[in-house]
Amino acid sequence: MSKTTTMRAVAAVFLAFAATNDAARAETAQDIVVASDKVRNPGEPFRSTNTLTEFVAGKPRDQNVLVVYAKEDPATHQFRNLIRYVAPPRDQGKMVLLDGRVLWFYDPNSKASVRISPQQRLIGQAAIGDVLTVNFAVDYSGTLLGDETIQDASRKDRQCWHLDMKAANDQAVYNRVEYWVEHGTNYPVKAKFYSDSGRLLKILYYRGFEEQLGRIRPTEAVIIDAVDTSLVTTFKFGDFHAQAIPDAWFQRDYLPRLQPE
């Protein structure tokens, strides 16, 4: 092969790579987050069962089982959420309601509901806000930092978009989130969550991608404490079912009468 031919071949490869790279960058941060939201969240009202297990140095210490009912509000494009405690037995019947921008905790023993913060601890490294079904594209304003190859929960390399997301309203659970979304699939791979002061709180990995309600979605997540990596909480969210959910279920005054099953 002549020197001229070789240079032309190299130039063609470079141009093809540049075109591919430009096509990837043509997507805005908002486009990427919206596409990833559609992977994480079904577009129809649904329920799922979430099992949260707290581990300390690799040994399980505590576990919660929750049923989450979620329905997108057509006006805001954010989800309304109802969380029902199933286990342990001491917590059965307790509920958490996200009504608009307000989060309520209901205790059937007192028949009272009190306002709580989405950052209130649920179990281990998981806060109440971590189990809510949310559209990141509604609550955050993202900036595309670039392309990055990272390792997923199984230490497999993934080519991802790296995004920096800042809270766009007071409903956002965290002030800032770093977010990695895989090229091509729009699968969420990793997230880092920061406090209002800028302190890194926790690192989350998505895994267990399976078909649920019509498309491949993550069915597990691992949350690692940012300071003490021996503190880990796992989520298993499965048993997805499409379900017609009455609007009355998302009203605070209706909680004492709610019989979801």
Number of domains in the chain: 1
Label residue 238 by pLDDT band (50, 70, 90).
confident
1 found inside a domain: no
Instruction: Give pLDDT, residue 1.
Output: 52
For position 136, which CATH number holds? 2.50.20.10
Closest CA to 260 of 41, 43, 120, 66: 66
pTM of this prediction exceeds 0.95:
no
Closest CA to 184 of 18, 37, 36: 36
**Residue span of the structural domain in which 228 resides:** 36-257
What letter does residue 76 receive in the DSSP assignment?
A: T
6 found inside a domain: no
Closest CA to 237 of 130, 95, 154, 150: 130
Label residue 17 by pLDDT band (50, 70, 90).
very low
- The upper half-sphere exposure of residue 128, i.e. CA atoms within 13 Å in the direction of its Cβ, equals 22
Mean pLDDT estimate for the chain? 90
More confident of the two residues 211 and 239: 211
Label residue 259 by pLDDT band (50, 70, 90).
confident
How far are the Cα atoms of 8, 15, 62 from residue 2, in angstroms, in the given order?
Answer: 10, 20, 68
173 found inside a domain: yes
Instruction: Give pLDDT, residue 24.
Output: 44
24 found inside a domain: no
146 found inside a domain: yes
162 found inside a domain: yes
2 found inside a domain: no
More confident of the two residues 11 and 120: 120
84 by Cβ neighbours in 10 Å (0-12 / 13-18 / 19+) ranks as: buried
Instruction: Give the pLDDT confidence of 34-68 residue by residue, as tens digits.
Output: 999 999 999 999 999 999 999 999 999 999 999 99
| Range from 21-30, 39-48, 226-235 carrying the lowest mean pLDDT | 21-30
Instruction: Give the pLDDT confidence of 93-151 residue by residue, as tens digits.
Output: 999 999 778 999 999 999 999 999 999 999 999 999 999 999 999 999 999 999 999 99
Residue range 223-249: mean pLDDT, rounded: 95
49 found inside a domain: yes
